[in-house]
A and B are shown apart, each in its own frame.
Chain A
Amino acid sequence: MIKFENVSKSYSKGSPAVRDISFEIDRGEFVFLIGSSGSGKTTLIRLMIREEKPDDGTIWVAGKNLVTMPNWKVPHFRRNVGVIFQDFRLLPNKTVAQNVAFALQVIGKPNRFIATQVPQILRLVGLEDKMERFPHQLSGGEQQRVAIARAFVNRPLILLADEPTGNLDPDTSWGVMNLLERINRTGTAVVMATHDVGIVDSMRRRVIEIDYGHLSRDQVRGVYGLGV
Protein backbone atom coordinates (compact mmCIF):
# COMPACT_ATOMS: atom_id res chain seq x y z
CA MET A 1 0.00 0.00 0.00
CA ILE A 2 2.81 2.39 0.96
CA LYS A 3 6.42 1.60 0.17
CA PHE A 4 9.47 3.80 0.76
CA GLU A 5 12.78 2.66 -0.75
CA ASN A 6 15.90 4.51 0.41
CA VAL A 7 14.11 7.84 0.43
CA SER A 8 16.06 11.01 1.18
CA LYS A 9 14.82 14.56 1.19
CA SER A 10 16.53 17.76 2.25
CA TYR A 11 15.33 21.33 2.16
CA SER A 12 17.55 24.13 0.95
CA LYS A 13 17.64 25.62 4.44
CA GLY A 14 18.95 23.50 7.31
CA SER A 15 19.84 19.84 7.61
CA PRO A 16 18.30 16.96 5.65
CA ALA A 17 14.71 16.26 6.72
CA VAL A 18 14.77 12.52 6.06
CA ARG A 19 17.73 10.31 5.15
CA ASP A 20 17.72 6.90 3.51
CA ILE A 21 14.35 5.73 4.82
CA SER A 22 12.83 2.39 3.79
CA PHE A 23 9.64 0.77 5.06
CA GLU A 24 6.51 -0.87 3.80
CA ILE A 25 2.93 -0.54 5.05
CA ASP A 26 0.32 -3.11 4.01
CA ARG A 27 -3.35 -2.81 3.26
CA GLY A 28 -5.42 -2.27 6.40
CA GLU A 29 -2.47 -1.66 8.74
CA PHE A 30 -2.48 0.88 11.57
CA VAL A 31 0.91 2.54 11.98
CA PHE A 32 2.22 5.20 14.36
CA LEU A 33 4.95 7.46 13.05
CA ILE A 34 6.74 8.80 16.10
CA GLY A 35 9.68 11.05 16.83
CA SER A 36 10.37 14.41 18.40
CA SER A 37 9.36 17.66 16.72
CA GLY A 38 11.40 18.34 13.62
CA SER A 39 12.45 14.70 13.26
CA GLY A 40 10.87 14.42 9.82
CA LYS A 41 7.40 12.96 10.48
CA THR A 42 5.56 15.71 8.64
CA THR A 43 8.00 15.47 5.74
CA LEU A 44 7.13 11.76 5.41
CA ILE A 45 3.41 12.57 5.31
CA ARG A 46 4.02 15.29 2.70
CA LEU A 47 6.04 12.83 0.64
CA MET A 48 3.17 10.31 0.81
CA ILE A 49 0.68 12.76 -0.76
CA ARG A 50 3.28 14.06 -3.18
CA GLU A 51 3.21 17.52 -1.71
CA GLU A 52 6.98 17.01 -1.89
CA LYS A 53 9.20 14.95 -4.15
CA PRO A 54 12.14 13.06 -2.66
CA ASP A 55 15.71 13.92 -3.68
CA ASP A 56 16.52 10.24 -3.78
CA GLY A 57 14.78 6.90 -3.59
CA THR A 58 11.37 5.64 -4.69
CA ILE A 59 7.94 6.03 -3.12
CA TRP A 60 4.96 3.83 -3.96
CA VAL A 61 1.53 4.75 -2.64
CA ALA A 62 -1.72 3.00 -3.62
CA GLY A 63 0.10 1.26 -6.45
CA LYS A 64 1.49 4.46 -7.93
CA ASN A 65 5.14 5.49 -8.21
CA LEU A 66 5.08 9.05 -6.86
CA VAL A 67 8.55 9.89 -8.12
CA THR A 68 7.75 9.36 -11.78
CA MET A 69 4.15 10.57 -11.55
CA PRO A 70 3.54 13.67 -13.72
CA ASN A 71 1.98 16.70 -12.00
CA TRP A 72 -1.32 16.44 -13.80
CA LYS A 73 -1.96 12.98 -12.39
CA VAL A 74 -1.52 14.12 -8.78
CA PRO A 75 -5.17 15.26 -8.23
CA HIS A 76 -6.57 11.87 -9.23
CA PHE A 77 -3.98 10.11 -7.09
CA ARG A 78 -4.96 12.19 -4.04
CA ARG A 79 -8.55 10.97 -4.26
CA ASN A 80 -7.27 7.61 -2.97
CA VAL A 81 -5.66 9.14 0.09
CA GLY A 82 -7.42 10.97 2.94
CA VAL A 83 -5.43 13.41 5.06
CA ILE A 84 -6.14 15.14 8.38
CA PHE A 85 -4.02 17.67 10.23
CA GLN A 86 -3.46 19.06 13.69
CA ASP A 87 -5.15 22.34 12.64
CA PHE A 88 -8.21 20.64 11.03
CA ARG A 89 -8.12 22.85 7.89
CA LEU A 90 -11.87 23.30 7.65
CA LEU A 91 -13.37 26.13 5.65
CA PRO A 92 -14.70 28.63 8.20
CA ASN A 93 -17.46 30.02 5.99
CA LYS A 94 -19.01 26.65 5.19
CA THR A 95 -21.19 24.55 7.48
CA VAL A 96 -20.19 21.08 8.63
CA ALA A 97 -22.26 19.48 5.87
CA GLN A 98 -20.95 21.93 3.26
CA ASN A 99 -17.34 21.28 4.31
CA VAL A 100 -17.80 17.56 3.70
CA ALA A 101 -19.85 18.07 0.55
CA PHE A 102 -17.21 20.44 -0.81
CA ALA A 103 -14.66 17.61 -0.91
CA LEU A 104 -17.03 15.60 -3.10
CA GLN A 105 -18.13 18.53 -5.25
CA VAL A 106 -14.64 19.52 -6.25
CA ILE A 107 -13.85 16.03 -7.52
CA GLY A 108 -16.98 16.15 -9.65
CA LYS A 109 -19.30 13.77 -7.78
CA PRO A 110 -22.98 14.06 -8.76
CA ASN A 111 -25.27 15.94 -6.40
CA ARG A 112 -27.47 12.92 -5.71
CA PHE A 113 -24.43 10.96 -4.56
CA ILE A 114 -23.34 13.85 -2.33
CA ALA A 115 -26.81 14.17 -0.81
CA THR A 116 -26.74 10.56 0.39
CA GLN A 117 -23.06 10.31 1.34
CA VAL A 118 -22.73 13.44 3.50
CA PRO A 119 -25.40 12.57 6.14
CA GLN A 120 -24.17 9.00 6.20
CA ILE A 121 -20.53 9.89 6.91
CA LEU A 122 -21.55 12.53 9.48
CA ARG A 123 -23.61 9.87 11.27
CA LEU A 124 -20.49 7.68 11.28
CA VAL A 125 -18.45 10.38 13.04
CA GLY A 126 -21.36 11.20 15.38
CA LEU A 127 -22.14 14.69 14.13
CA GLU A 128 -25.49 14.08 12.42
CA ASP A 129 -27.16 16.65 14.71
CA LYS A 130 -24.56 19.36 13.97
CA MET A 131 -24.61 19.35 10.19
CA GLU A 132 -25.74 22.97 9.91
CA ARG A 133 -23.24 24.34 12.42
CA PHE A 134 -20.19 26.33 11.38
CA PRO A 135 -16.72 25.16 12.44
CA HIS A 136 -16.29 27.95 15.01
CA GLN A 137 -19.43 26.71 16.78
CA LEU A 138 -17.83 23.30 17.38
CA SER A 139 -15.29 22.04 19.90
CA GLY A 140 -11.83 21.04 18.74
CA GLY A 141 -12.68 17.35 18.88
CA GLU A 142 -15.82 17.89 16.84
CA GLN A 143 -13.89 19.90 14.27
CA GLN A 144 -11.36 17.11 13.92
CA ARG A 145 -14.20 14.65 13.40
CA VAL A 146 -15.54 16.84 10.61
CA ALA A 147 -12.07 16.78 9.08
CA ILE A 148 -12.03 12.97 9.38
CA ALA A 149 -15.46 12.79 7.76
CA ARG A 150 -14.17 14.93 4.90
CA ALA A 151 -11.05 12.79 4.49
CA PHE A 152 -12.99 9.53 4.64
CA VAL A 153 -16.16 10.38 2.71
CA ASN A 154 -14.49 9.25 -0.50
CA ARG A 155 -13.64 5.86 1.15
CA PRO A 156 -9.89 6.12 0.51
CA LEU A 157 -7.61 3.11 0.91
CA ILE A 158 -5.22 5.15 3.02
CA LEU A 159 -5.84 7.72 5.73
CA LEU A 160 -2.88 9.88 6.77
CA ALA A 161 -3.07 11.82 10.02
CA ASP A 162 -0.47 14.44 10.94
CA GLU A 163 -0.67 14.87 14.73
CA PRO A 164 -4.47 14.77 14.70
CA THR A 165 -4.66 14.97 18.50
CA GLY A 166 -2.00 17.67 18.86
CA ASN A 167 -4.56 20.35 19.67
CA LEU A 168 -6.93 18.22 21.74
CA ASP A 169 -7.25 17.32 25.41
CA PRO A 170 -6.79 13.62 26.37
CA ASP A 171 -10.50 12.72 26.56
CA THR A 172 -11.27 14.29 23.19
CA SER A 173 -8.16 12.66 21.76
CA TRP A 174 -9.53 9.25 22.66
CA GLY A 175 -12.75 10.03 20.84
CA VAL A 176 -10.75 10.78 17.72
CA MET A 177 -8.60 7.65 18.18
CA ASN A 178 -11.67 5.44 18.49
CA LEU A 179 -12.96 6.90 15.26
CA LEU A 180 -9.63 6.26 13.50
CA GLU A 181 -9.66 2.70 14.78
CA ARG A 182 -13.17 2.12 13.46
CA ILE A 183 -12.10 3.49 10.09
CA ASN A 184 -9.08 1.17 10.19
CA ARG A 185 -11.39 -1.79 10.80
CA THR A 186 -13.16 -1.09 7.50
CA GLY A 187 -9.88 -2.01 5.78
CA THR A 188 -8.40 1.48 5.37
CA ALA A 189 -4.72 1.74 6.25
CA VAL A 190 -4.13 4.47 8.84
CA VAL A 191 -0.78 6.19 9.23
CA MET A 192 -0.66 8.59 12.15
CA ALA A 193 2.23 10.87 13.01
CA THR A 194 2.15 11.72 16.69
CA HIS A 195 4.17 12.27 19.82
CA ASP A 196 1.35 11.42 22.19
CA VAL A 197 3.01 8.81 24.44
CA GLY A 198 -0.23 7.70 26.13
CA ILE A 199 -2.03 6.91 22.92
CA VAL A 200 0.87 5.01 21.36
CA ASP A 201 1.55 3.01 24.50
CA SER A 202 -2.01 1.90 25.06
CA MET A 203 -2.94 1.09 21.46
CA ARG A 204 0.01 -1.27 20.91
CA ARG A 205 0.17 -0.92 17.16
CA ARG A 206 3.09 -0.94 14.77
CA VAL A 207 5.50 1.92 15.56
CA ILE A 208 7.95 3.52 13.12
CA GLU A 209 10.29 5.90 14.89
CA ILE A 210 12.16 8.66 13.11
CA ASP A 211 15.19 10.14 14.81
CA TYR A 212 16.82 13.18 13.17
CA GLY A 213 15.65 12.02 9.77
CA HIS A 214 16.74 8.39 10.21
CA LEU A 215 14.46 5.45 10.70
CA SER A 216 15.60 4.25 14.12
CA ARG A 217 12.91 1.69 14.93
CA ASP A 218 10.21 -0.30 13.15
CA GLN A 219 8.37 -2.45 15.66
CA VAL A 220 5.18 -4.49 15.54
CA ARG A 221 2.94 -3.79 18.58
CA GLY A 222 5.35 -1.16 19.84
CA VAL A 223 5.26 1.49 22.55
CA TYR A 224 6.59 5.04 22.55
CA GLY A 225 9.53 4.50 24.86
CA LEU A 226 12.32 2.10 23.96
CA GLY A 227 11.88 -1.67 23.82
CA VAL A 228 9.50 -4.11 25.53
Chain B
Amino acid sequence: MSIKYFAAETGTNLWRNRLMSLAAIFTVAISLSLVGSALLIKQGVSTATAEWKGNVQLLVFLQPKISPTEFTAVEDQLHQLPAVKSFSYVPRAQAYADFRRLLANQPDLVNAVPESAVPTFLRVSLVNPAETRAVAAIFQGQPGVDTVNDNFSAINTITTVSNVAQTVILAVAIILLVSAAVLILNVIRVAIFSRRREVAVMRLVGATNSFIQIPFMLEGLVQGLIGALVATGVVILVKSLIGYAISHFHMHLLEGFVLTSHNLIETIAVIVVAGVVVGTLGSTIAVRRFLAA
Protein backbone atom coordinates (compact mmCIF):
# COMPACT_ATOMS: atom_id res chain seq x y z
CA MET B 1 0.00 0.00 0.00
CA SER B 2 2.91 2.33 0.73
CA ILE B 3 4.26 2.39 -2.82
CA LYS B 4 0.78 3.09 -4.13
CA TYR B 5 0.30 5.82 -1.53
CA PHE B 6 3.63 7.48 -2.31
CA ALA B 7 3.05 7.35 -6.07
CA ALA B 8 -0.45 8.78 -5.73
CA GLU B 9 0.69 11.43 -3.25
CA THR B 10 3.62 12.48 -5.45
CA GLY B 11 1.37 12.66 -8.51
CA THR B 12 -1.32 14.73 -6.78
CA ASN B 13 1.24 17.03 -5.24
CA LEU B 14 2.93 17.63 -8.57
CA TRP B 15 -0.41 18.33 -10.21
CA ARG B 16 -1.81 20.42 -7.38
CA ASN B 17 1.32 22.60 -7.29
CA ARG B 18 1.80 22.45 -11.05
CA LEU B 19 2.89 26.09 -11.35
CA MET B 20 5.58 25.58 -8.72
CA SER B 21 6.53 22.24 -10.27
CA LEU B 22 6.84 23.91 -13.66
CA ALA B 23 9.03 26.61 -12.13
CA ALA B 24 11.29 23.96 -10.62
CA ILE B 25 11.39 21.95 -13.84
CA PHE B 26 12.23 25.02 -15.91
CA THR B 27 14.94 26.03 -13.48
CA VAL B 28 16.55 22.61 -13.75
CA ALA B 29 16.06 22.50 -17.52
CA ILE B 30 17.62 25.91 -18.17
CA SER B 31 20.54 25.42 -15.79
CA LEU B 32 21.30 21.94 -17.05
CA SER B 33 20.95 23.03 -20.70
CA LEU B 34 23.61 25.65 -20.07
CA VAL B 35 25.79 23.24 -18.14
CA GLY B 36 25.37 20.55 -20.81
CA SER B 37 26.09 22.92 -23.67
CA ALA B 38 29.13 24.24 -21.83
CA LEU B 39 30.39 20.69 -21.34
CA LEU B 40 29.78 19.85 -25.01
CA ILE B 41 31.64 22.95 -26.15
CA LYS B 42 34.46 22.15 -23.79
CA GLN B 43 34.71 18.65 -25.24
CA GLY B 44 34.58 20.08 -28.76
CA VAL B 45 37.32 22.60 -28.03
CA SER B 46 39.37 19.84 -26.47
CA THR B 47 39.11 17.54 -29.52
CA ALA B 48 39.69 20.47 -31.86
CA THR B 49 42.84 21.43 -29.99
CA ALA B 50 44.07 17.86 -30.08
CA GLU B 51 43.42 17.86 -33.83
CA TRP B 52 45.31 21.10 -34.33
CA LYS B 53 48.18 19.87 -32.23
CA GLY B 54 48.32 16.65 -34.25
CA ASN B 55 48.57 18.76 -37.35
CA VAL B 56 51.82 20.38 -36.38
CA GLN B 57 54.07 19.93 -39.35
CA LEU B 58 57.57 20.86 -40.28
CA LEU B 59 58.15 21.87 -43.84
CA VAL B 60 61.78 21.25 -44.78
CA PHE B 61 62.36 23.24 -47.96
CA LEU B 62 65.11 21.89 -50.13
CA GLN B 63 67.56 23.85 -52.23
CA PRO B 64 66.91 23.54 -55.96
CA LYS B 65 70.37 22.11 -56.49
CA ILE B 66 70.35 19.51 -53.75
CA SER B 67 72.54 16.52 -54.53
CA PRO B 68 71.17 12.98 -54.28
CA THR B 69 73.64 12.20 -51.44
CA GLU B 70 72.48 15.23 -49.49
CA PHE B 71 68.89 14.23 -50.07
CA THR B 72 69.51 10.68 -48.85
CA ALA B 73 71.30 12.05 -45.79
CA VAL B 74 68.26 14.16 -44.87
CA GLU B 75 65.92 11.23 -45.47
CA ASP B 76 68.07 8.86 -43.35
CA GLN B 77 68.10 11.35 -40.55
CA LEU B 78 64.33 11.67 -40.65
CA HIS B 79 64.05 7.89 -40.51
CA GLN B 80 66.28 7.70 -37.46
CA LEU B 81 64.79 10.53 -35.39
CA PRO B 82 62.32 9.06 -32.86
CA ALA B 83 60.52 12.42 -32.67
CA VAL B 84 59.40 12.04 -36.30
CA LYS B 85 56.10 10.26 -36.79
CA SER B 86 56.08 10.28 -40.57
CA PHE B 87 57.27 12.33 -43.50
CA SER B 88 56.65 12.58 -47.17
CA TYR B 89 58.46 14.13 -50.10
CA VAL B 90 56.51 16.64 -52.12
CA PRO B 91 57.86 16.76 -55.69
CA ARG B 92 57.90 19.95 -57.71
CA ALA B 93 54.84 19.19 -59.81
CA GLN B 94 52.70 18.64 -56.73
CA ALA B 95 54.19 21.62 -54.88
CA TYR B 96 53.37 23.78 -57.88
CA ALA B 97 49.81 22.43 -58.05
CA ASP B 98 49.33 23.12 -54.32
CA PHE B 99 50.75 26.60 -54.81
CA ARG B 100 48.30 27.32 -57.65
CA ARG B 101 45.37 25.92 -55.70
CA LEU B 102 46.10 27.83 -52.46
CA LEU B 103 46.62 31.14 -54.21
CA ALA B 104 43.90 30.69 -56.80
CA ASN B 105 42.38 34.03 -55.84
CA GLN B 106 45.59 35.85 -56.72
CA PRO B 107 46.04 35.01 -60.42
CA ASP B 108 48.69 37.72 -60.95
CA LEU B 109 50.99 36.16 -58.41
CA VAL B 110 50.32 32.64 -59.67
CA ASN B 111 51.09 33.61 -63.24
CA ALA B 112 54.26 35.46 -62.29
CA VAL B 113 55.86 32.41 -60.66
CA PRO B 114 57.04 29.66 -63.02
CA GLU B 115 56.95 26.04 -61.92
CA SER B 116 60.74 25.93 -61.80
CA ALA B 117 60.81 28.61 -59.08
CA VAL B 118 58.70 26.56 -56.67
CA PRO B 119 60.86 24.70 -54.19
CA THR B 120 60.37 21.04 -53.39
CA PHE B 121 60.03 20.11 -49.73
CA LEU B 122 59.59 17.38 -47.16
CA ARG B 123 56.45 17.39 -45.06
CA VAL B 124 57.28 16.06 -41.58
CA SER B 125 54.77 15.09 -38.89
CA LEU B 126 56.02 14.85 -35.33
CA VAL B 127 55.08 12.55 -32.47
CA ASN B 128 55.02 15.41 -29.97
CA PRO B 129 54.31 18.97 -31.12
CA ALA B 130 56.45 20.30 -28.26
CA GLU B 131 59.57 18.96 -29.98
CA THR B 132 58.98 21.05 -33.10
CA ARG B 133 61.66 23.60 -32.26
CA ALA B 134 64.30 21.03 -31.51
CA VAL B 135 63.68 19.06 -34.70
CA ALA B 136 63.62 22.23 -36.78
CA ALA B 137 67.03 23.20 -35.36
CA ILE B 138 68.55 19.89 -36.49
CA PHE B 139 67.72 20.46 -40.14
CA GLN B 140 68.28 24.17 -40.20
CA GLY B 141 71.55 24.79 -42.06
CA GLN B 142 72.03 21.17 -43.10
CA PRO B 143 73.60 20.87 -46.57
CA GLY B 144 70.94 20.91 -49.26
CA VAL B 145 68.29 22.34 -46.92
CA ASP B 146 67.09 25.83 -47.66
CA THR B 147 64.85 26.74 -44.76
CA VAL B 148 62.72 24.94 -42.21
CA ASN B 149 59.25 26.26 -41.66
CA ASP B 150 57.24 25.38 -38.61
CA ASN B 151 53.82 26.54 -37.51
CA PHE B 152 54.78 26.09 -33.89
CA SER B 153 54.07 29.63 -32.72
CA ALA B 154 50.63 29.55 -34.32
CA ILE B 155 49.85 26.22 -32.64
CA ASN B 156 51.21 27.57 -29.38
CA THR B 157 48.78 30.48 -29.48
CA ILE B 158 45.87 28.22 -30.30
CA THR B 159 46.77 25.89 -27.44
CA THR B 160 46.96 28.75 -24.94
CA VAL B 161 43.65 30.23 -26.12
CA SER B 162 41.99 26.86 -25.95
CA ASN B 163 43.31 26.13 -22.46
CA VAL B 164 41.98 29.45 -21.20
CA ALA B 165 38.66 28.88 -23.00
CA GLN B 166 38.25 25.43 -21.48
CA THR B 167 38.98 26.69 -17.98
CA VAL B 168 36.51 29.56 -18.37
CA ILE B 169 33.80 27.27 -19.73
CA LEU B 170 34.30 24.79 -16.92
CA ALA B 171 34.15 27.56 -14.32
CA VAL B 172 30.92 28.89 -15.85
CA ALA B 173 29.44 25.39 -15.88
CA ILE B 174 30.26 24.86 -12.19
CA ILE B 175 28.82 28.24 -11.21
CA LEU B 176 25.65 27.41 -13.17
CA LEU B 177 25.32 24.04 -11.49
CA VAL B 178 25.65 25.55 -8.03
CA SER B 179 23.08 28.25 -8.78
CA ALA B 180 20.78 25.56 -10.18
CA ALA B 181 21.05 23.64 -6.92
CA VAL B 182 20.27 26.74 -4.85
CA LEU B 183 17.33 27.67 -7.09
CA ILE B 184 15.84 24.18 -6.87
CA LEU B 185 16.22 24.15 -3.11
CA ASN B 186 14.36 27.44 -2.95
CA VAL B 187 11.59 26.40 -5.33
CA ILE B 188 10.97 23.19 -3.39
CA ARG B 189 11.16 25.06 -0.11
CA VAL B 190 8.37 27.34 -1.32
CA ALA B 191 6.39 24.29 -2.50
CA ILE B 192 6.73 22.70 0.92
CA PHE B 193 5.89 25.96 2.64
CA SER B 194 2.62 26.06 0.72
CA ARG B 195 1.85 22.61 2.13
CA ARG B 196 2.98 23.22 5.70
CA ARG B 197 -0.56 22.55 6.99
CA GLU B 198 -0.44 19.03 5.65
CA VAL B 199 3.00 18.48 7.14
CA ALA B 200 1.79 19.85 10.48
CA VAL B 201 -1.19 17.48 10.49
CA MET B 202 1.02 14.55 9.54
CA ARG B 203 3.34 15.28 12.45
CA LEU B 204 0.38 15.75 14.78
CA VAL B 205 -1.11 12.32 14.07
CA GLY B 206 2.27 10.63 14.33
CA ALA B 207 3.53 10.11 10.79
CA THR B 208 7.22 9.23 10.81
CA ASN B 209 9.70 11.68 9.34
CA SER B 210 10.66 9.36 6.52
CA PHE B 211 7.01 8.88 5.64
CA ILE B 212 6.54 12.65 5.41
CA GLN B 213 9.79 13.11 3.52
CA ILE B 214 9.43 10.48 0.82
CA PRO B 215 6.72 12.16 -1.33
CA PHE B 216 8.66 15.44 -1.28
CA MET B 217 11.87 13.65 -2.23
CA LEU B 218 10.10 11.82 -5.03
CA GLU B 219 8.63 15.11 -6.16
CA GLY B 220 12.06 16.73 -6.30
CA LEU B 221 13.42 13.67 -8.06
CA VAL B 222 10.67 13.75 -10.71
CA GLN B 223 11.15 17.49 -11.22
CA GLY B 224 14.90 17.07 -11.54
CA LEU B 225 14.45 14.17 -13.95
CA ILE B 226 11.93 15.96 -16.19
CA GLY B 227 14.13 19.08 -16.17
CA ALA B 228 17.11 16.93 -17.12
CA LEU B 229 15.17 15.32 -19.97
CA VAL B 230 14.22 18.74 -21.34
CA ALA B 231 17.85 19.80 -21.03
CA THR B 232 18.88 16.63 -22.88
CA GLY B 233 16.68 17.68 -25.80
CA VAL B 234 18.22 21.15 -25.78
CA VAL B 235 21.75 19.73 -25.72
CA ILE B 236 21.00 17.39 -28.65
CA LEU B 237 19.66 20.40 -30.53
CA VAL B 238 22.76 22.44 -29.68
CA LYS B 239 24.99 19.62 -30.91
CA SER B 240 23.27 19.33 -34.27
CA LEU B 241 23.18 23.12 -34.62
CA ILE B 242 26.94 23.30 -34.08
CA GLY B 243 27.48 20.49 -36.59
CA TYR B 244 25.23 22.22 -39.09
CA ALA B 245 26.88 25.61 -38.61
CA ILE B 246 30.39 24.18 -39.11
CA SER B 247 29.55 22.26 -42.26
CA HIS B 248 27.18 24.83 -43.72
CA PHE B 249 29.31 27.92 -43.24
CA HIS B 250 32.56 26.14 -44.17
CA MET B 251 34.28 27.06 -40.95
CA HIS B 252 37.44 25.19 -41.86
CA LEU B 253 39.33 26.35 -38.82
CA LEU B 254 36.65 24.64 -36.72
CA GLU B 255 36.66 21.40 -38.65
CA GLY B 256 38.43 19.71 -35.78
CA PHE B 257 35.50 20.77 -33.62
CA VAL B 258 33.90 17.36 -33.89
CA LEU B 259 31.31 16.24 -31.35
CA THR B 260 31.10 12.49 -31.28
CA SER B 261 28.00 10.67 -30.08
CA HIS B 262 30.23 9.43 -27.28
CA ASN B 263 30.65 13.05 -26.14
CA LEU B 264 26.90 13.47 -26.35
CA ILE B 265 26.06 10.35 -24.33
CA GLU B 266 28.60 11.37 -21.69
CA THR B 267 27.09 14.84 -21.44
CA ILE B 268 23.54 13.47 -21.24
CA ALA B 269 24.58 11.07 -18.49
CA VAL B 270 26.07 13.98 -16.53
CA ILE B 271 22.89 16.03 -17.03
CA VAL B 272 20.51 13.28 -15.94
CA VAL B 273 22.56 12.35 -12.89
CA ALA B 274 22.96 16.02 -11.95
CA GLY B 275 19.22 16.64 -12.37
CA VAL B 276 18.22 13.70 -10.19
CA VAL B 277 20.82 14.44 -7.51
CA VAL B 278 20.09 18.16 -7.40
CA GLY B 279 16.30 17.61 -7.30
CA THR B 280 16.41 14.96 -4.59
CA LEU B 281 19.01 16.76 -2.48
CA GLY B 282 17.23 20.10 -2.79
CA SER B 283 13.89 18.68 -1.64
CA THR B 284 15.49 16.67 1.15
CA ILE B 285 17.29 19.69 2.55
CA ALA B 286 14.18 21.83 2.16
CA VAL B 287 11.83 19.38 3.90
CA ARG B 288 14.22 18.75 6.77
CA ARG B 289 13.59 22.23 8.12
CA PHE B 290 9.94 21.44 8.63
CA LEU B 291 10.66 18.20 10.43
CA ALA B 292 13.02 19.57 13.06
CA ALA B 293 11.36 18.28 16.20
Contacts and interface: CB of A to CB of B under 8 A. Distances in A.
Nearest to B292: A71
Contact of A106 (B16, B197, B211, B293): B211
Given A106-B212, A108-B211, A154 B198 contact: no
Interface of chain B, helix or strand or loop or mixed? Answer: helix
Contacts of B207: 75, 106-107
A72 B197 CA distance: 21
Nearest to B9: A105
Interface string B58-87: 000000000000000000000000000000
A112 to B, nearest CB: 9
Contacts of A76: 206, 208
A14 to B, nearest CB: 22
A116 interface: no
Interface size class on chain A is 20 to 34
Interface stretch (A23-31, A77-85, A212-220): A77-85
A106 B202 contact: yes
A93 B13 CA distance: 12
Contacts of A49: 204
Contact of B293 (A74, A79, A102, A107): A74
A89 B201 contact: yes
Contacts of B2: 108
A78 B209 contact: no
A103 interface: yes
Nearest to B200: A89
A138 interface: no
A150 B198 CA distance: 14
Contact of A154 (B1, B200, B205): B205
Given A108-B2, A108-B211, A110-B1, A103 B205 contact: yes
30 contacts: A49-B204, A50-B293, A71-B293, A72-B208, A72-B209, A74-B293, A75-B203, A75-B209, A76-B206, A76-B208, A77-B206, A78-B203, A78-B204, A79-B205, A91-B198, A91-B201, A93-B16, A102-B201, A102-B205, A103-B205, A106-B202, A106-B211, A107-B205, A107-B207, A107-B211, A108-B1, A111-B1, A150-B205, A151-B205, A154-B205
5 cross-chain pairs, A with B, having the tightest CB-CB distances, nearest first = A78-B206, A106-B207, A79-B206, A103-B205, A71-B293
Interface of A: 49-50, 71-72, 74-79, 83, 89, 91-93, 102-103, 105-108, 110-111, 150-151, 154
